[in-house]
Amino acid sequence: MEFVIIGGDAAGMSAASRAKRLRPDLKVTVLEKTTDVSYSACGMPYNIADPKREIEDLVVRGANIFREKQNIHLLTGHCAKAIDRINKTVTGMSLKGKDFEFSFDKLLIATGASPIMPDLPGFNLPGVMQLKSLDDGRKIKHFIKSNCVKKSVVIGMGFIALEMVEALRALNIEVDMVKLRPVFLPWMDEMLADVVKGEVETNRVHLYPGHVVERIEKSNKGLTVVCADLKLEADMVLVAIGITPDSRLAANANIELSVSNSISVDKGLKTSDKNIFAAGDCADAYHVVTGQKVWIPLALRANRAGWAVADSVCGRKADLPGVAGTAVFKLFDLEVTRTGLHAEEAKKFGFEPVEVTIKSGSRAHAHPGSSTIYVQMVGDRKSGRLMGVQMVGKEGTAHRINAAAVALHCHMTVEQFSQADMAYAPPFGPVWDPMLTAANQLFKKMRT
């Protein structure tokens, strides 16, 4: 059987490796358009922050290891251009300009997502960067070093934008941030968002929300980001306004698309074509709270989905329950986390959300070094179910959020969650864990 995979990062290489472990006789071909495979994309901002580290340090497993130790037919620099569902072939072109064609019995589309780059004047100028692939990280490190960058503008205020702000400040580069929407973090509780905003501004980053970027111009000083009522000078501009599923191959092959133009898959990762799977950032998923289709690109989901596809291809039953949207990022001294739905999302899906926001300590009150943890929790008044949790703090939030994620996967009520037997020791938290305090208060509020 011929198993062909388009895309050689998290989902693609996870599927290829597992398929060869389960069935060593299976012929597995991976077509990767770049020269990099299997790397830690999430580690790029931290690598960029350290000029002593090479970007290649992020490579988890080199291409030759897949070829030589696992006997995977891995072809880098091979860009798939079209899928013929009737004849079951994939065609494309290599970086050397040679056409190729591969037949498949089973196909996995693992093309990931692409960064959004506005079609505006000046966004193709030298020094205007984006960060998605390892080569993007390579280019940013080289540009900073070669051009002695001292001032930067970041367009966008999402996860990647904020992680890169910390990286740039670690290199002593001045940073201005600008974006279209007037609200700093629209998905976050206002009190928690104010804490995050304060952390950014404390680190001498200037925020300009609510400004429409019209163009980028070359100037004597380098680059100028031009808004209707604002001009920001920079040596380098990072565009980080989001990503979009790379689903063009599927769309051109008349494979069904879903929310945000992601590829529609069932719980076994099959597309509308029974011989074609999709996994990773190009595909949708079911949300464990709502049961509805969502597009939430996550590293763990990509790896897990790759495994599930391999299981299915090798004759094993594989159904994934879905995602809760659990995420965490570090921002200077803060840990910022979330899982599940915020109140507005819950309302949109027909729930009757009730929410509370509390402040607690990261350690017992008499233990030295305690800092404030902010917890926002949402429940559904009608069913009593836990809907979602957000947390911000200087310690103790990054891993606490996992308890809430498990509760969402188990469809726990707020009352059930409030009775969970959580660990206690003074260096790690108060007797009443911050999440238990929030759950207790939320449960009382839901009963009124």
Give the active site residue among 42, 282, 314, 410. 42
Report the CATH number of the 327-447 domain. Answer: 3.50.50.60
Catalytic annotation on 42?
A: yes
What angle, 0 to 180 degrees and rounded to 10, lies between the N-to-C axes of helices 159-170 and 190-202?
A: 20
Rounded to the nearest integer, the mean pLDDT of the chain is 96
3-state secondary structure of 391: strand
Contact 289, 387 (CB under 8 A): yes
- pLDDT of 221 over the 90 cut: no
Which structure tokens are listed for 418?
């409030």
- pLDDT of 448 over the 90 cut: no
What are the pLDDT digits (tens) for 101-120?
Answer: 999 999 999 999 999 999 99
| pLDDT attached to residue 220 | 84
Percentage of residues in the chain having pLDDT higher than 70: 100
What are the pLDDT digits (tens) for 201-217?
Answer: 999 999 999 999 999 99
Contact 235, 150 (CB under 8 A): yes
3-state secondary structure of 318: coil
3-state secondary structure of 303: helix
What angle, 0 to 180 degrees and rounded to 10, lies between the N-to-C axes of helices 10-22 and 63-70?
A: 10
Report the CATH number of the 2-38+60-113+244-313 domain. Answer: 3.50.50.60
- pLDDT of 366 over the 90 cut: no
Give the mean pLDDT of 136-144: 96
What one-character DSSP code corresponds to residue 256?
P
Burial of 350: CB neighbours in 10 Å, binned 0-12, 13-18, 19+: exposed
CA–CA distance, 413 with 242 (Å, rounded to integer): 33
What one-character DSSP code corresponds to residue 39?
B
DSSP string spanning 342-356? -HHHHHHTT--EEEE
Q: Which residues have C-beta within 8 Å of that of residue 447, sequence separation ≥ 6?
A: none
3-state secondary structure of 93: strand
Confidence of residue 292 (pLDDT cuts 50, 70, 90): very high
Confidence of residue 64 (pLDDT cuts 50, 70, 90): very high
Looking only at the bridges linking them, the beta strands covering 243-245 and 113-115 are antiparallel
| Backbone Cα Rg of the chain | 23
- pLDDT of 332 over the 90 cut: yes
CA–CA distance, 122 with 44 (Å, rounded to integer): 25
Q: How many helices, marked H, and strands, marked E, lie in the chain? A: 12, 25
Confidence of residue 79 (pLDDT cuts 50, 70, 90): very high
Options 3.50.50.60, 3.90.79.10, 3.40.50.300, 3.40.50.1110; CATH for 128-239 is 3.50.50.60
Give the mean pLDDT of 172-200: 96
Burial of 101: CB neighbours in 10 Å, binned 0-12, 13-18, 19+: exposed
Confidence of residue 30 (pLDDT cuts 50, 70, 90): very high
| pLDDT attached to residue 365 | 87
Give the mean pLDDT of 255-278: 97
At residue 23, what is the residue type?
Answer: R
Residues of the chain with CATH 3.50.50.60: 2-38+60-113+244-313, 128-239, 327-447
- pLDDT of 381 over the 90 cut: yes
Q: Which of 175, 186, 191, 262 is nearest to 225 (CA)?
A: 175
Backbone angles phi, psi at 218, to 5 degrees: -75, 140
- pLDDT of 404 over the 90 cut: yes
Backbone angles phi, psi at 18, to 5 degrees: -70, -40
